[in-house]
Chains A and B, each alone.
Chain A
Amino acid sequence: MKLNMNFSIITRWEFKNTLKSKKFLLIFFMQLSVLAMLIFMFNSFAANIESEKGLSLTPSLVDFATLDVDDQGGLFKKSIDQEIIKIYSTNGNSSFLRIEAGETNGLYTVSSDSIVRIQNGEIVDTVLYLDYADPRRSVIRDSINTTTKSVSSALTQSYLQSANPSNNTPQAGLKEEKTGESLPMQIIKKVMLVVLLFLPLFLFGNIIIDSVVGEKERKTAEILVAMPISPGEILLGKGLAVVAISALQVVMWIVVLIAAGFTINNVILVYLLVVLTAVPIVGLTSIIAAYAKNYKEAGIGITFAYVMVVGFLIVPALAYISRKSFSANISPMTTVMRLFAGEAITIPEILMSVTFVIILSIIFFGIATWLFRRDDVLFGPRPGPVKLTLQFLRIKKR
């Protein structure tokens, strides 16, 4: 029982110390403002995508390409997508010079008597001159193809009507019934929200780094090691303090998200799973902190490690969206995503990620403690990573 009290003292001490720092509190609350910005961007982004035909994640590219258009009848010019292509109405005389000068990417001409031809039911000729020295040629070609197709089918319909005024055949249309939410929308709604939920876990690694690497740099590690507490308890104490701070921030973020109108089903379970995931992340951070010689090394190690952790968390979640497989539940992100979306999820699936997280926590804290206990890692000369791994696996003797 004395063991437990010792590390909880450290936890309480670290926790209080961190919260007392004014600069830390400032950054803590600034992160909330970042969240507010993220929510705002996310909402306007989702609205922007929903309003366009054919949901796709493409850059907006206003005035990306320029096209000279000679269409006196105006029918084709109207149908060109003006969001990406800037249209320059012309009679075509100066267009080739403009193409050479790079002021435009092509010339699109429509027969000057297009309206008359349409009225007489004759074919309309169109030509597209495209500058092949410019990579934007495919964008323009695609846009004009779409224009041609849409005007063409409109004309076909009207010719059919006029050829068959007493149209007895029912106007057979195409009735589309959709099942399943479209893929881009799913990605946006679910994945972005789950990333927002897990983001706070990555913002506090610095506390552990400062806690452990700072002791090395300030040369106070000797004092710490001399205390009547085992290294494992020291690390655990510091780690739990960080988990507690992350838990605090996650709670605040969830409140802000719900207030902003997001629906989070099974809130308590979602919260518990997110906070539980903080434990192995802090464990991994402790390993880096224990091994790093100084802040620079620690900083770069953390960047790498966090990128990999994000990858491990998010890839199964993304895979789950396109193909619902059981193994994707190994990532707590997948489980959280399914929980807050209110999907039917079984206990074994939840247990899969919980077990995985607990196992990783034990492994990471175990390695961190093993490193922290060693004088050569803490004070130098530090053995290289390969040697250490071999010693850890007990292949090589110390």
Chain B
Amino acid sequence: MKTPSTITKIMALAKKEARDILQNRIYLLVVLVQVFIIIGAVGLVAVAAVASDPALLDQVGVTSALNIGLPQNLEGSSLSKYLEEEKITLNYYNTTDEAKLELGTKLVAVVDLSSSGEVVVQVDTSNVFYPVVSTKISDAVDKFNTEKTLKNAGLNESQVNIIQNPVNFQEIKINQDNQVPLALDSPYFVEVIYGFIVPFILLLPFFLASNIVTDSVVGEKERKTFEVLLMTPLSSYMVIIGKIIPILFFSLIQSIAWIAVLDLLRVPIFNPGLLVLVLFFMGLAFIGVGILISMLVDSTKEANSAITLVLVFATFILFIPLFVKSEIFQGVFNFIPTVLMVKLAVSPNIRPEIMLYLLPTLIISFLIFVGTVRSFRHERAIRL
């Protein structure tokens, strides 16, 4: 049981550390830079989402960028009519070969009708609008082919209607009064934002905290104030807690602020309380590893190299599972905290049992914490 005086002592150490951090102007600048990174990331994904979604592109009205080339003899044909309906800009040339010269510069594709009645398309796959143009062209060609076949079949109007639209689709909205405002109602946007950007942004403060953390012990060793720290009348546990609290607290505050910023940018984040809990334990692990490395190395040079390596490995373990599908490892992936963060952030209603997936992270951060304390005790034993 901690007595009040012990808590006062820890708070004194924590306050000193906090002052050191806040006086570091560069750290404060870095916090500000993160806001720009967030806005930039969300904006970039929004632009990419619009560029890859035909419906959104039509809404935004970027038709002028979707240029395809056709030979003059196709002007006024039903194929060109269907292509125009798809909101593509048609450019006519005397011959198809003339059009092909502009492929890759002005034109995304060149469409021609062969003598056998087959539609031949040449596309520039390196163009950023290729997927959208490809979809639109195939839709137009489908309609063109259907129309051609129907003309030869001699069917009545209702039969034609059924053949062209055999499936009736209706969408009914539920819970519209609780409708969440989304920056962009696009699947690509939702997938990339929640599947990668949200965990990345929420973890940024912890990645950037590692620079501060390595200084915490190695810096003390080099400035010859480490022995003073070893002599403080506090148990090793309390010293480590005192060192961890400030940076963990600041990083958590930043993450909470970023949740608010994302909400403002119309990327609603659900279950913020549970997310903060996950971030707390992840932060404990990150910062704990930073302090541990700090104690094991002799110089800041080595500490910086080591923490860089650790961050690289951490990035792999935390972010690669978000992009990889693996039947063997899928079960294991559920225990990775970033995967849990994605599920928490995107689900308005969540079953509390999902937090059981946090157990391995909890255990690992606890072990790191204990390891750090042990290391500090060891230092006390050999240096004093």
Contacts and interface: CB of A to CB of B under 8 A. Distances in A.
Interface residues of A, number: 97
Nearest to A151: B167
B348 interface: yes
Contacts of B168: 123-126
Interface string A95-131: 0100101110010000000000010011111111111
B215 A138 contact: no
Interface string A123-156: 1111111111111111101111100100111011
Interface stretch (A53-61, A336-344, A361-369, A370-378): A53-61
Given A130-B173, A137-B185, A174-B118, 6 more contacts: A135-B346, A139-B187, A152-B166, A160-B150, A172-B144, A207-B301
Contacts of B41: none
Contacts of B191: 58-59, 61, 64, 84, 139
A92 interface: no
A299 B215 contact: yes
Contact of B159 (A31, A163, A294, A295): A163
A130 B174 contact: yes
Contact of B300 (A23, A59, A106, A295): A295
Contacts of A142: 186-187
B222 A172 contact: no
Contact of A209 (B103, B117, B175, B301): B301
For A37, A183, A294, A304, the residue with the greatest tally of chain B CB atoms inside 10 Å of its CB is A183
A64 B320 contact: no
Given A126-B168, A163-B159, A174 B187 contact: no
B141 interface: yes
A144 B172 CA distance: 13
A130 B192 contact: no
Given A159-B166, A170-B116, A135 B180 contact: yes
A144 B270 CA distance: 25
B146 interface: yes
Contacts of A131: 174-175
A346 interface: no
B120 A177 contact: yes
A321 B126 CA distance: 8
Interface stretch (B65-73, B231-239, B280-288, B305-313): B305-313
Interface string B220-231: 001100000000
A223 to B, nearest CB: 18
A172 B325 contact: no
A175 B214 contact: no
Given A31-B309, A126-B168, A136 B190 contact: yes
Interface stretch (A6-14, A41-49, A224-232): A41-49
Contact of B149 (A31, A167, A203, A209): A167
